[in-house]
Structure 1
Amino acid sequence: MTQEINLHGEFSITQTGQRLDQALAELFPDYSRTRIKEWILSGAVSVDGHVLDVPRTKILEEQTVSIVTELQEEVTAKAQKIDLDIVYEDDHILVINKQAGLVVHPGAGNRDGTLMNALLHHCPNIEHVPRAGIVHRLDKDTTGLMVVAKTVEAQTHLVTALQARAITREYEAIALGTMTAGGLVDEPIGRHPTQRTQMAVERSGKPAVTHYRVAEKFRAHTRLRLRLESGRTHQIRVHMAYIGHVLVGDPVYGGRPRLPKAASAEFIDVLKGFKRQALHAVRLEFAHPITCDVMSWTAPIPDDMAQLTKALRQDTQDHPITY
């Protein structure tokens, strides 16, 4: 399916000399620069009745512009009835509390049963929005809050806000080792040079900044609150592993389980039984893409992490920390 796009406008005198793609982005802010560039290159943009297909073309004052094209449906997944924990919904956005085990996008080995499949069932019109409105991702076994756009306009505004670091995303995690203070990790992340399914701190990677603070200390672990400035794949997991504090249960970056000395059999069972990274997107805040109202949500810690925390507290009580 496609959605017809028919836009008309006029450049202002202050835009004289600007590049065509820049001027169009100002004139039609509901659409991304990437999409506008695609429209220009495809010949969908006419200025004073003449097709202009070079993004760097300089415009003259008070020219009229029209864009006539079709927004191709980019979703190929099928709708499936999958339960979602919906925290908030209106005509423009949807905020969900994602459960562990739910893959966000269909891909190799996960052709269905994903969040995208669930969204197409819950909100059929979202098929007209690129990526079914998904603005940012959480790993399969990371739980917590995600925002989804129900319209192209809302998605464009949210993606822009994400790029401008205007969306607050806070996480709760449990890491191996006792950390004495918070800090930040400012290290670029890219594809691992030999393990192509993994990410790593790489000089040639993209900038990535993770802030963290200590929320609770245990005998051999630390509960953390983290905030992202960027949103690279596996960012928190990679950054914490880089500074020597892998997340409990991380099947990719955690390595072999390391058990504290003299731990009880019950505590060892809890640690060995925690099979996913102990990471939860606990808080989300941003200005609504349409109303501009600042909105904030929190998601309770999932049961498995709550039980892990309880076990860690008991282990610390059994073996008091000495300084």
Structure 2
Amino acid sequence: MAQITLSAEVQPEQMGQRLDQTLAEMFPDYSRSRLKTWIEEGLVLVNGEKITVPRTKVYGGESVEISVEVEDENRFAPENIPLNIVYEDEHILVINKPKDFVVHPGAGNPSGTVLNALLYHYPQIAEVPRAGIVHRLDKDTTGLMVVAKTIPAQTKLVRDLQKRKITREYEAVAYGIMTQGGTVDQPMARHPTKRTHMAVHPLGKPAVTHYRIMERFRNYTRLRLRLETGRTHQIRVHMAHIAHPLLGDQTYGGRPRPPKNAGEAFTTVLREFKRQALHAVMLRLEHPITGELMEWYAPLPEDFVRLIEALKADYLEHKDELDY
């Protein structure tokens, strides 16, 4: 068993919500059902008072504390899977995740994940909930992830994520010729009929994505994006919502669409790029223990580099035909 202590303050915009709903927003690493159970077991203090009714309303400004023992991650098997480690100290680990690598075991992926690798390389991390994973990348999204090696580090990183103090930037290639950068500020929720998909929904959780143009090609635009929130599939859903799905994203409409008169070599590169063109290129955070501001960059992976080169070559070949 591992002892965890969580604390946070109810935000003004959460006024009127149920306590269990508020805790689910405060502590997204724990399911609402688990948090509800902790409330009912008397493990949640609000302004120092034990609350045991999940539907209790909050008003904003309350201090919340949870102290509980949880099962460690020994139910998952350690596996000797290599990790590309960008930074490491006794408290945190930053990795550069390749494509085709699931972060956490789940339906259809019981093993072979980042979590299994962490348990092998750092056995003591089994004492940290979710083996220290505080945020995820999709299976085929590449790039930077931070992992907590201790419970205090994880608690602080989760809190900083909630307060939007951790900066995550991505590179992507989106379908269509975009003329300017902008912001997508649209709430998101689970898709009403496709349960493995997410969707923009007026009753969903707040989600904000900022983007700017890096390069324009024929029919495609290279982007730099920054997450203000971290919803599942957020960039992919937001870009599809504004009719610019990510190249290669079969789930949200980014199927290969070669431009008119595209050469065979370029068309082949597009069709062989069988994942969403999304890479977590930069991560900036305050060290959860020392408070030092730290920043890391991950170069584009080889398949992404080849894609950009092919897009540039196609653009140069046809630029005299373009009207922008």
Q: What range describes the TM-score normalised by the shorter chain of this pair?
A: 0.7 to 0.9
Are 1:322 and 2:315 an aligned pair? no
The equivalent residue for 1:232 is 231
TM-score, normalising length: structure 1: 0.82
Separation (CA, whole Å) in 2 of partners of 1:36 and 1:260: 50
1:1-323 alignment, distance < 5 Å? 2-3=1-2, 41-42=40-41, 54=52, 70-74=69-73, 76-254=75-253, 256-320=255-319, 321-323=322-324
Q: 1:43–1:244: structure 2 CA closer, same or farther, 3 Å change rule?
A: closer
Q: Aligned equivalents of 1:5 and 1:193: distance in 2?
A: 34
Q: Is residue 85–residue 98 contact of structure 1 (8 Å, CA) maintained in 2?
A: yes
Distance 1:295 1:233 in 2: 25
- How many residue pairs match? The answer is 284
Deviation string, structure 1 residues 73-121 (Cα, Å, up to 9, x no partner): 2552110000110000000000000000000110111000000000001
1:192-249 alpha-carbon deviations (Å, 9 max, x no partner): 1121111111111111000000011112111000000010110000000111111111
From the superposition, tell whether residues 177 and 90 of structure 1 become closer, same or farther in structure 2 (CA, over 3 Å): same
Amino acid at match of 2:89: D
Q: Residues 98-149 of structure 1, C-alpha deviation per residue, up to 9 Å, x if partnerless?
A: 0000001101110000000000011111101111100000000000000000
Amino acid at match of 1:138: L
Deviation at 1:257, TM superposition (A): 2.5
Distance, in Å, in 2 between the alignment partners of 1:45 and 1:163 is 19
Distance 1:269 1:248 in 2: 14
Counterpart-to-counterpart distance in 1, 2:86 and 2:130:
21
| Alignment match, 2:59 | none
- How big is the alpha-carbon RMSD for the aligned residues of Structure 1 and Structure 2? 2.6
Runs of 4+ more than 6 Å apart: 34-40
| Structure 2 equivalent of residue 12 of structure 1 | none
Q: Secondary structure at the match of 1:276?
A: coil
What amino acid sits opposite 1:265 in the alignment?
A: E
State the shift of 1:305 in Å: 0.5
Q: 1:167 to 1:184 in 2, by over 3 A?
A: same
Tell me the equivalent position of 1:59: none
SS of aligned partner of 1:214: strand
Which ranges of structure 2 fall in alignment gaps of 5 or more residues? 6-18, 20-29, 57-65
**Kept in 1: contact 2:2–2:128 (CA 8 A):** no
> Which whole-Å CA distance do the structure 2 matches of 1:112 and 1:40 have between them?
32
Q: 1:319, CA displacement in angstroms?
A: 0.5
Partner of 1:11: none
Q: In the aligned structure 2, how far is the partner of 1:110 from the partner of 1:126?
A: 20
3-state DSSP of counterpart to 2:209: strand
The residue number in structure 1 matching 2:15 is none
Q: Using a 3 Å threshold, how does the CA distance of structure 1 residues 91 and 295 change in structure 2: closer, same or farther?
A: same
1:310 Cα deviation from its structure 2 partner: 0.2
Return closer, same or farther for 1:53/1:231 CA change in 2, 3 Å cut-off.
Answer: closer
Quote the offset at 1:5 in angstroms: 7.3
Instruction: Report deviation, 1:294.
Output: 0.1
Given residue 214 of structure 2, which amino acid in structure 1 is its aligned partner? A
Q: Secondary structure at the match of 2:238?
A: helix
CA distance in 1, matches of 2:298, 2:4: 37
Q: Aligned-pair distance for 1:259? A: 1.6
- Is the contact made by 2:248 and 2:255 (CA closer than 8 Å) also made in structure 1? no
1:70 Cα deviation after fit: 3.6
Paired with 2:4 and 2:127, the residues of 1 have a C-alpha distance of 12
C-alpha distance after superposition, 1:133-180 (max 9, x if no partner): 000000000000000000110000000000000000000000111111
Percentage identity across paired residues of the two chains: 60
CA displacement, residues 261-289 of structure 1 (integer Å, 9 cap, x when unaligned): 00000000000110000000000000000
Cα distance between partner residues in 1 of 2:115 and 2:178: 37
Q: What is the aligned partner in structure 1 of residue 27 from structure 2?
A: none
Relative distance call for 1:267 and 1:281 in structure 2 (3 A) is same
- Residue type matched to 2:323 in 1? T
In the TM superposition, residue 254 of structure 1 has moved relative to its aligned partner by 2.2
Q: In structure 1, what is the Cα distance between the partners aligned to 2:299 and 2:235?
A: 19
Q: Secondary structure at the match of 1:140?
A: coil
> Looking at CA atoms only, which structure, 1 or 2, has the larger radius of gyration?
1
